[in-house]
Amino acid sequence: MGIVSWLVLGLIAGVIAKVLLPGRDPGGLVGTTLIGIAGSFIGGWLSTRVLDRPIPKDFYDPSMWVAAIAGALVLLIAYRLLFGNSRDRR
């Protein structure tokens, strides 16, 4: 997969993560999109290193989609834990 495929996968993974984890995010749509892209890269990297899976050449490989969405979910949860309530505190 090329870099453009990873970016598209990250965008879609970010949207899916947002649908699975609704609510207000401190970064809005742009922040969620960037978290999705970063999550897809991190999820893909971790699946190749930890699970010892090769990087697939096919864009439609289900294991890569699961890894990208899981990475986006983990980053979105971490982002909400770190920065989620910063606007609400007074």
Q: What is the mean pLDDT of the segment spanning 8-34?
A: 78
pLDDT digits (tens, 9 = 90+) for 42-69: 877 777 788 777 766 666 777 778 888 8
Q: Is pLDDT at 18 greater than 70 in this prediction? A: yes
Are 69 and 16 contacting, i.e. CB atoms less than 8 angstroms apart?
yes
Phi, psi dihedral angles at 52 (to 5 degrees): 55, 45
What does the alpha-carbon distance between residue 54 and residue 78 come to, in Å, rounded to a whole number? Answer: 27
Question: Helices 62-83 and 3-20: crossing angle, nearest 10°?
Answer: 60
pTM (2 d.p.):
0.75
